[in-house]
Amino acid sequence: MVKTPVFKGSCTAIVTPFCEHGVDYERLRKNIDFQYENGTSAIVVCGTTGENATHSANEHEEIVRFTIRENRGRMKVIAGVGSNNTLSALKNAENAKYAGADAILMVTPYYNKSTQKGLIEHFSYVADRVDIPMILYNVPSRTGIGISAETYKTLSAHPNINGVKEASGDFSLVARTRSLCGDELYIWSGNDDNTIPMMAIGALGVISVASNLVPAVVSKLCALCLESDFKGATELYGKYAALFSALFIETNPIPIKAAMKLLDMDSGLLRLPLTDISEAHLATLRSVMRDCGLNA
């Protein structure tokens, strides 16, 4: 069976707008509409940027259901289901499938520090039991464990494993994975500042943090790359490179939530252990945004 990529272009790892009593669903609805109106192809809900580690089991399930219902089929919806407990990841995947998600995003199991064999069994355990496209998520700076090209090759043979969000920053790994797996494992950049070089070697787009703030820009950047207009893409990227960098001046999603508030986009509260951005970094972020033409 030939695999079809879950999406091409820009996918927003959408923030979760928390309030004192839980989740501000009206604000989440507005954020979903904003993404669609600005050319976003897909959204990831309950991912790292959505502070999924602080969601209760009931919140996770409800956020996924709400997003799918309010999206109304306009964009692909990908539910973050990752856990360092394989059975918890399976439960989240089952809930996402039942709710009507288009795909699931599953990060490497953090803290446990499994072997490559353990990674294969962890991802395969869920993929064997839930018939939904799975996007792997490789972000060793967060989890302490990375996926090797050989492990990607093994996992790519599974019909339900569709691709990977590659946030290792290792272009040699990405190139070797493309060589080994071809279209059995699609690749998306997991870092905004890696989008152009990764798409130049075969990635199909980006799962983006910055597109919470500037979705039309990220969508256009991906479109130019998909058209092989890397000169145009580089010119566009140059206008926003400092912003893409500043959005990681502190741990994600601290800066992106602060940046959204500077544009009067209510991104909600952060949940502990994350705290508000420092005054010094907020001043830097505001300055960078103004330099990009954003009215911060």
pLDDT at 2 (0 to 100): 85
pLDDT at 180 (0 to 100): 97
pLDDT at 272 (0 to 100): 97
Q: Using CA atoms, how far apart are residues 106 and 52, in angstroms rounded to an integer?
A: 12
pLDDT at 145 (0 to 100): 96
pLDDT at 23 (0 to 100): 97
Say what the pTM is: 0.96
Both tokens of 222, joined, read: 């991906």
pLDDT at 233 (0 to 100): 98
Decide if 137 is catalytic. yes
Decide if 165 is catalytic. yes
**Residue ranges, the chain, pLDDT below 70:** 1
Report the candidate in 171, 250, 255 with the shortest Cα–Cα distance to residue 210.
Answer: 255
Regarding the domain delimited by 9-229, which CATH topology (the fold level of the hierarchy) does it fall under? TIM Barrel (3.20.20)
Name the residue ranges covered by the structural domains of the chain.
Answer: 9-229
Q: Render the chain in DSSP notation, one character per residue.
A: -----S--EEEEEPPP-EETTEE-HHHHHHHHHHHHHTT--EEEESSTTTTGGG--HHHHHHHHHHHHHHHTTSSEEEEE---SSHHHHHHHHHHHHHHT-SEEEEE--TTT---HHHHHHHHHHHHHH--S-EEEEE-HHHHS----HHHHHHHHTSTTEEEEEE-S--HHHHHHHHHHHGGGSEEEESSGGGHHHHHHTT--EEEESGGGT-HHHHHHHHHHHHTT-HHHHHHHHHHHHHHHHHTTSSSTTHHHHHHHHHTT----B--TT--PPPHHHHHHHHHHHHHTT---
Q: Using CA atoms, how far apart are residues 152 and 138, in angstroms rounded to an integer?
A: 10
Of the residues 76, 91, 137, 186, which is catalytic? 137
Of the residues 91, 165, 220, 257, which is catalytic? 165
pLDDT at 266 (0 to 100): 86
